[in-house]
């Protein structure tokens, strides 16, 4: 079990992180992060054990308090470079299981590593047992999947809503769909939902947000029982959403649902940024033409500048595959480095018929007669949940 533990090295000095990575070379799951990225990434990475390295600029005690607030089960070991009693006292007070002053206590760190790991393993085991006995097993770490593209009209809303509904039909998972197109919405038409409620109604309770608040505001798609959080569809309301709102919303959803499916607008703002940061996977929707490829390259640059990690996270969904495509799906592999998760056909007739009637693509599990687009989505979902 010790091979299973997830370790996070947090600090601003690359050299110390690399050194510690060496000390921990028998562990596979080790992530490294700066103080600055800790806030955005901690919830997603969900480490069991954190080595927090002293920083010149940032308060380690504040960082530890933040860690305990977001992830109360994680254990923290502090790494200092000098015997500053004030610093050590403050981190002890914030809650750590051990500290080491490097390089003097390097040997001591090696010596104690086993017992620290044992402590983490014990803690994990206890947690699993209480989770099983309180029937809350598996809850608490749902996946957040965001659907994005730098190009408007590429199929983000169509694919994300069909994905969420199909996932609900093809599995026993708890699924919630969130429409983050703050100004115009869009998903309500594909899912045939009429309501004035939106996640903006959660603003007054955001600081104590829990599952029942969310269920009070969410709508249910009647056929699949998919839960849906609609967008406020109002520029003024969107203006007033505080920074941190979306991160809070997504983290609470992740604790209560197995899958949180997020439909994003093209425009990048603090809320889309927050959703991308929290996501376990970002599905980028690509059409097979030169402008779409160029836009992807631009988005890549934007993500890099914003520090949004794409490695192991961003996957491509090719949409509108058809005979008249300018580029062939196989050529895409040579142009881009991201994995291609699925391809969906251009299905003008089938898709249009559903949109005109404002009818979702799926009506029941194991449906026989599906339009080609819905078949494509089902194939992808089935292969994902297997
Ligand atoms: N595979 C497809 N087959 C047929 N039509 C499609 C397909 N994908 C998308 N479309 C068409 O493109 C339109 C736009 O799709 P959608 O609203 O999902 O795009 P979007 O990326 O969410 O757009 P926006 O940037 O405005 O949010 C749909 O109404 C549909 O008519
Ligand atoms: Mg859309």
What's 243-288 look like in SS3? Answer: CCHHHHHHHHHHHHCCEEEEECCCCCCHHHHHHHHHCCEEEEEEEC
Q: For residues 326-350, b (16+ Cβ closer than 10 Å) or e, as one string?
A: ebeeeebeeebebeebbbbbbbeeb
- How many angstroms separate the CA atoms of 197 and 8, rounded? 39
Q: Whole-model pTM?
A: 0.77
Q: In testing the pocket of ligand 1, which one of 318, 351, 355 has its CB within 8 Å of the most ligand atoms?
A: 351
Instruction: Specify whether the CB–CB gap between 378 and 370 falls below 8 A.
Output: yes
Tell me how far the alpha carbon of residue 241 lies from the centroid of ligand 2, in angstroms: 20
Q: What domains, with CATH codes, occur in the chain?
A: 2-133 (3.40.50.2300), 143-385 (3.40.50.300)
Atom 11 of ligand 1, nearest CA residue: 155
Counting ligands in written order, the one closest to the CA of 348 is: 1
Distance CA 265, CA 181 (A): 5
Please provide residue 23's backbone torsions phi and psi, each rounded to the nearest 5 degrees. Answer: -60, -35
| Tens-digit pLDDT string for the chain (386 aa) | 566 899 999 999 999 999 999 999 999 999 999 999 998 899 999 999 999 999 999 999 999 999 988 888 889 999 999 888 889 888 988 889 889 999 999 999 999 899 899 888 888 787 777 655 544 444 557 999 999 999 999 999 999 999 999 999 999 999 999 999 998 888 999 999 999 999 999 999 999 999 999 999 999 999 999 999 999 999 899 889 998 999 999 999 998 899 999 999 998 889 999 999 999 999 999 999 999 999 999 999 999 988 899 999 999 999 999 999 989 988 998 889 999 999 999 999 999 999 998 899 999 998 889 999 999 999 999 999 88
Which residue from 157, 185, 350, 372 has its CB within 8 A of the most atoms of ligand 1, so it is best to mutate?
A: 157
DSSP-assigned letter for residue 241: P
Give the other-Cβ count within 10 Å of 265's Cβ: 22
Report the atom number in ligand 1 closest to the C-alpha of 350. Answer: 4
Peptide bond preceding 51: is omega within 30 degrees of 0, i.e. cis? Answer: no
In angstroms, the CA 212 to CA 203 distance is 14
Find the 182 Cα to ligand 2 centroid distance in Å. 10
* Phi, psi torsion values for 61, nearest 5 degrees: -65, -40
Rounded distance between C-alpha atoms, residue 142 and residue 238, angstroms:
26
Cβ 53 vs Cβ 11: under 8 Å: yes
Nearest partner of 143 among 255, 39, 40, 227, judged by Cα: 255
């Amino acid at each position: 079990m010790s091979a299973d533990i997830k370790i996070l090295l947090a600090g601003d000095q690359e050299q110390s992180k690399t050194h510690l990575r060496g000390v921990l070379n028998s562990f596979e799951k080790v992530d490294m992060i700066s103080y600055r990225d800790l806030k955005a990434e901690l919830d997603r990475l969900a480490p069991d054990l954190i080595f927090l390295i002293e920083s010149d600029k940032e308060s380690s005690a504040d960082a530890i308090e933040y860690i305990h607030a977001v992830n109360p089960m994680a254990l923290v070991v502090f790494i200092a470079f000098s015997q500053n009693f004030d610093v050590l006292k403050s981190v002890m007070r914030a809650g750590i299981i051990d500290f080491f002053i490097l390089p003097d206590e390097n040997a001591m760190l090696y010596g104690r590593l086993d017992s620290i790991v044992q402590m983490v393993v014990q803690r994990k085991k206890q947690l699993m047992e209480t989770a099983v006995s309180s029937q809350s097993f598996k809850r608490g770490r749902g996946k957040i999947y965001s659907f994005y593209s730098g190009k408007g009209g590429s199929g983000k809303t169509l694919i994300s809503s069909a994905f969420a509904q199909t996932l609900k039909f093809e599995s026993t998972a708890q699924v919630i769909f969130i429409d983050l197109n703050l100004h115009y919405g869009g998903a309500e038409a594909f899912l045939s939902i009429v309501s004035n409620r939106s996640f903006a109604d959660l603003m007054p309770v955001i600081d104590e947000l829990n599952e029942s608040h969310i269920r009070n505001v969410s709508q249910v798609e009647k056929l699949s029982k998919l839960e849906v959080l609609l967008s406020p569809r109002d520029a003024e309301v969107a203006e007033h959403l505080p920074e941190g709102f979306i991160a809070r919303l997504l983290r609470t959803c992740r604790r209560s649902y197995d899958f949180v499916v997020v439909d994003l607008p093209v425009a990048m703002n603090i809320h889309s940024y927050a959703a991308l940061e929290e996501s376990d996977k970002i599905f980028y929707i690509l059409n097979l033409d030169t402008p779409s490829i160029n836009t992807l390259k631009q988005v890549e640059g934007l993500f890099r500048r914003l520090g949004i990690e794409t490695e192991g996270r961003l996957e491509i969904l090719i949409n509108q595959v058809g005979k008249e495509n300018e580029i062939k799906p196989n050529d895409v592999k040579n142009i881009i480095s991201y994995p291609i998760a699925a391809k969906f056909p251009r299905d003008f007739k089938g898709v249009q018929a559903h949109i005109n009637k404002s009818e979702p693509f799926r009506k029941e599990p194991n449906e026989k007669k599906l339009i080609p687009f819905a078949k494509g989505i089902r194939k992808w979902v089935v292969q994902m949940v297997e």
